[in-house]
Amino acid sequence: MITPGSKYFLGLTGLGLVSAVLYCFLVNPSDLGAYALFGLFISAALIAGFSIFTRDGDVATAAEAVEANTEATAPSFWPIIFALGGALTLLGVATNEIVFVLGLSVLVGGAVEWVIDDWAEKASADSEFNAFVRHRAIGAFDYPGIAAVVLGFIAFLFSRIMLTVSKDEASIIFIVVSAVIFAAGFVLAAKPALRGKTTAIISVVGALVLLVAGVASALSGERKELVKYAKEDVYSVANRGCGKEEGKYYDHEANGSVSLRSGVIATVFVEDGKIRAQEIGIKKDVETITIPRSNSTSILFRNLDAEEYRLVATLGKVKVGTTDVMEEVGTCTQLTGKNEEQVLTVTIPKPSSPEEPFKLTVPGATGEIKVVVP
C-alpha cells in the first residue's frame, strides 16, 4: 500500500530526476547544480523507499511490526545523522575528498547506530532490557567514536589558532594552556569533592574559548609568512637570493634537523674554507657527482666551518625570453651555520653538456663539484 507520505516522496523523487536530467541537458552535466539535483533525487528515492517499506510509520497496518514490542519506541536522532552523512557524501563527491570521507564516515556510523537501535527496540517488550542489549551491542564503540569526533574538532580548531598566531604567541599559548591544565589537575586531585561541577565548568569554558578562538582565527586567516609561502614560488630563481644575504621566507630553524639520509645521493662539505663531496657507495671524496635526468635528487650540504655558507647549484644557461642573452639557471640552500646542514633538491630535465657540466659551488669557499646528468 502506498501511503500519502510515500506518494509525496515519490513525487519529489520524480521531480528531482526530471530536474536533474533537464539541468544536465540545458546547463552543464558536470556542474555542482547537477550533483545537487541528482542528490535530491537519490535522497527522495531513499526516503520514499523507506516510507513504502514501513507503510509511512503506520504500524497498525503492519502485522509483522508488532511481533514483540508493544511499547512506543523512543525518538532517535540517528536517521537525521544518516541523512546528514548522505548529504555530506554527495557534497564531497562534488567538492573535495575530505568532505566525502567525513560524509561517508557519518553515513556508515549513522547507519550502524540506526540498525542497532532498530534491532534493540524489538529485542523484547521490556524497554529497559532493550536499552541494556543496545548498550552491550554497541556501547563499546559509542564513546571512542564520540571522543574521536570531539578530538578531531579540538585538533582542527587548535590548528586554526596555531596557523594564525606568531611563533612567540604560540609558545605563550602552549605555556598558559599547559599551566592551566596542570593547575586544574592539581586542584581536582587535591579536592575530590570539587570534581563533578568544576570539571564540567572547566570543560564548558575551555570548549567555548577554543570554539570562539578557533572560529575567530579561521576568519582572520593565516599569518603573513604562511600566506607569502602559499602565494610566492620560493623555488623560482627570481625569489631566491643565492648570494651572501639572508633569505626572508625560509624556516631558519630547519637547519640541523634534516632527516632525509636515505634519499640523499651525495653530501657536500665545507671545511677550512674548501668544498668537497662524498657520493653514496664511494669511499673517497669525489670531484664529480652523477645524478639521473628528470628525477628529483637530493644533495646534503653540511657546513663544518664557523662562517655561514650556502650551497649553490648552477644548472646551465637559458635564453632570456626571445633575446639572445643567456642567463644562468640555479638554485641554492639557505645560509647554514657551523655543523648545520640543509638539503638541496634538484630536478634536471636536460643532460649536461660534456664541455660545460653543471656545478655546485659555495660562495666564499674555494673549489667546485661538477654535476653530470647523463
Q: Which residues bind other proteins (CB under 8 A)?
A: 262-265, 279-283, 288-296, 298, 347, 349-351, 354, 372, 374
* Residue 236 C-beta: closest distance to other proteins, Å: 18
Q: Residue 280 Cβ, how far from other proteins at the closest point, in Å?
A: 6
Question: 336 and 255 in contact (C-beta within 8 Å)?
Answer: yes
CB of 284 to other proteins, least distance (A): 10
Of the pair 95, 288, the CB lying nearest other proteins is at: 288
Angle between helices 32-53 and 4-26 (to 10 degrees): 160
Taking CA 218 as the corner, what is the angle to CA 216 and CA 223, rounded to the nearest 5 degrees? 100
Nearer to other proteins, 65 or 372 (CB): 372
Q: Where are the beta strands (DSSP E) in the chain?
A: 264-271, 274-279, 288-290, 297-303, 312-319, 326-332, 340-346, 358-361, 368-372
Query: How near is the Cβ of 267 to other proteins at its closest, in Å?
Result: 12
121 touches 73 (CB < 8 A): yes
Which residue, 70 or 262, has its beta carbon nearer to other proteins? 262
Assigned C-alpha cell, 257: 634537523
Q: How far is the CB of 147 from other proteins (least distance, A)?
A: 34
Provide the minimum distance between the beta carbon of 286 and other proteins in the complex, in angstroms, as a whole number. 8
**CA 337 to chain CA centroid, nearest Å:** 33
Placement of cell 520514499 in the chain: 48
Residues 6+ apart with CB under 8 A from 244: 335, 363, 364
**HSE (side-chain half, CA atoms, 13 Å) at 120:** 22
State the Cα–Cα distance between residues 290 and 233, nearest whole angstrom: 27
Residue 158 contacts residue 173 (beta carbons within 8 Å): no
**Residue 311 contacts residue 333 (beta carbons within 8 Å):** yes
Least distance CB 319 / other proteins (angstroms): 14
Query: With respect to other proteins, which residue has the nearer C-beta, 242 or 348?
Result: 348
- CB nearer to other proteins: pick between 58 and 285: 285
- Long-range pairs of 112-121 with CB within 8 A, sequence gap ≥ 24: 112/138, 113/78, 113/81, 113/138, 114/76, 114/78, 114/79, 114/81, 114/82, 117/76, 117/78, 121/69, 121/73, 121/74
CB of 350 to other proteins, least distance (A): 6
Task: Name the packing angle between helices 127-164 and 97-121 (round to 10°).
Answer: 160
Query: Is the CB of 90 or the CB of 369 nearer to other proteins?
Result: 369
- Taking the least distance from each CB to other proteins, the nearer of 178 and 347 is 347
Nearer CB in complex with other proteins: 171/296: 296
